[in-house]
Structure 1
């Protein structure tokens, strides 16, 4: 009888030990799974409902993009977002797209601090967006600046003559069809477009002078379209400092009292609304778009874009 009792007690003890180790294993697996999900989660969804610093990436050619504008508006209105870090890697784009993003960032900055971090490239409209932030950083070898505006067209009249093709255009006014790819640009048409480019360039220069607290005459000298390295941009006061994410978090902590330990949540990237739809067309654009077509030729309107020939 005593032997049966001892065996029963031993089995009970063994069962308790097995159960305890199973619970420990399940808990360890759960913790490991959560850790992996946290590391792999592009949007830091586990921190979605915590107070955090939001980071939005502005990359590629800047055009009309409602998604970026919506995300910036959401960040401005979300009380859980203590600050926004913009990571910019863009050669620029349309002046309209840059202006819209600039205004959206300024609306965020009216509610909470915004730091702009320029990556490999933040030029033209990309730089325009960057200076909307309260503090602008770049690496020493980043490329930035390229303050300027361009309008590019093409003219095929000589080619048309060679192939025996002609075109007739009937307009309501002398400048209605300027520029026209079927004929050389007229002096009046060139003067009108040059005036529009100059007007937009003056607006861009004034924007930089205002945001960077620099004399307009000084900015005008810097705004000849050239790009600057991060070091040169810092010397010219086009940016505030050198660095990246670490330096951005340090500035937020030192100047705005936002702890470095506060979680950082990446706003997940999303295909820009209205751009090429469908997997096939996106694949074609990725593989051949840049090589076959100049980016600036795929943008309508005035362009603020750095793209070496």
Structure 2
């Protein structure tokens, strides 16, 4: 009898998971449209977490925002005739320079389609996040938001001493002298440091150009600010890096004003929730659910690769 009850309990649980999976696939993330339906829609696109190439992921080390995911949402907003403006709600420390560059290009394509883009910075909109923000029509930040960090960093971890203690010997066979540049199994040579510094410097110059063009500042002025420092929203406004101090609602109202909308629907764009997302939520509160522990090793590898990418 006890076994029968257990079997029924398992069947019911599986059925509930299937139903939850179907519902989650049909249920888009975010809130339903708000406001009075009339002139058009304002699309809200969220960038919440470090930025990387690809579709993004959620695992032990937190959520990674994928450039393909964000550019897809911006493309949807650009092509939808009902959408008249876009607000990007940002809370990110930055990430891959190339990924930020792709999102920035997508923002400019939305603007070229005649739809204004306003960035709303929550807690943080720094480094690659600010790269994206600089391509928008307007930037709104809270006085205590953190932004700026205009610069590029690249890190390489060295494990040679650890390998020696563990008795691990790594032999590298390569086609050229620089094929294993940045290898964690040996320190870099002076020439390799020079090459990597040149790579970082080139991306830095691209970043400076984006900020100068987007913010209407001279290159000399941007270089004064682009030493990697972060600013509060209030400091950033005084420096010309932010247009207005305000909340997300202020950013939405500014987007509506730029689009000439008196009444509008606020529509949140985002990926549909999957069964995996549901299980992760059931596994624990927020981003630290037990279910995330399964992906610990690949996530640590991913983190090391992320640190080695210029950002």
TM > 0.5: yes
Change (3 A) 1:61 1:184: same
1:50 to partner: Cα distance? 7.4
**Matching residue of 1:27:** none
State the shift of 1:171 in Å: 1.5
Structure 2, unaligned runs of 5 or more = 1-28, 54-65
What residue is the counterpart of 2:306 in the other structure? 299
Aligned to 2:287: 286
Partners of 1:199 and 1:72 lie apart in 2 by: 27
User: Which residue number in structure 1 is paired with residue 24 of structure 2?
Assistant: none
Aligned to 1:75: 77
Deviation, structure 1 residue 277: 8.6
Equivalent runs, 1:198-217 vs 2, <5 Å? 198-217=201-220
- Maintained 8 Å contact 1:167/1:182: yes
Report the 3-state secondary structure (helix = DSSP H, G, I; strand = E; otherwise coil) of the residue aligned with 1:203.
helix
Counterparts of 1:67-216 in structure 2 under 5 Å? 67-111=69-113, 112-216=115-219
Measured in 1, the distance between the counterparts of 2:44 and 2:75 equals 13
Larger radius of gyration: 1
In 2: Cα distance, 1:41 partner to 1:302 partner: 31
Higher relative contact order (CA 8 A, sep 6+): 2
> What is the aligned partner in structure 1 of residue 51 from structure 2?
62
Report the RMSD for the aligned CA atoms in angstroms: 3.2
2:249 corresponds to: 246
SS across alignment from 1:84: strand
Deviation string for 1:69-101 (max 9, x for gaps)?
111111111111111111111111111110111
Contact preservation (8 Å) 2:86, 2:255: no
> Is 2:130–2:147's contact at 8 Å kept on the other side of the alignment?
yes
Would you say the 8 A contact 1:234–1:242 is kept in 2? Answer: yes
Question: What residue in structure 2 maps to residue 7 of structure 1?
Answer: none
Change (3 A) 1:174 1:278: farther
Distance in 2 separating the partners of 1:71 and 1:249: 17
**CA displacement at 1:54 relative to structure 2:** 1.2
- SS of the aligned residue for 1:192 comes to helix
Distance in 2 between residues matched to 1:204 and 1:82, nearest whole Å: 28
2-structure distance, mates of 1:50, 1:218: 40
Given the superposition, is the C-alpha separation of residues 280 and 255 from structure 1 closer, same or farther in structure 2, using an over 3 Å criterion?
closer
1:173-223 CA deviation, whole Å, 9 max, x = no partner?
Answer: 111111111111111111111110011011101111111111111111211
Measure the CA separation in 2 of the matches of 1:96 and 1:77: 24
Q: Tell me how far apart the structure 1 counterparts of residues 98 and 206 of structure 2 sit (CA, whole Å).
A: 12
The answer to whether the Cα contact below 8 Å between 1:208 and 1:219 also exists between their aligned partners in 2 is yes
Query: Offset of 1:163 from its aligned partner?
Result: 2.6
In 2, the alpha carbon distance for the partners of 1:241 and 1:155 equals 44
Question: Alignment length, in residue pairs?
Answer: 260
Q: Which moved more, 1:73-82 or 1:138-147?
A: 73-82
The answer as to whether partners of 1:57 and 1:269 remain within 8 angstroms in 2 is no
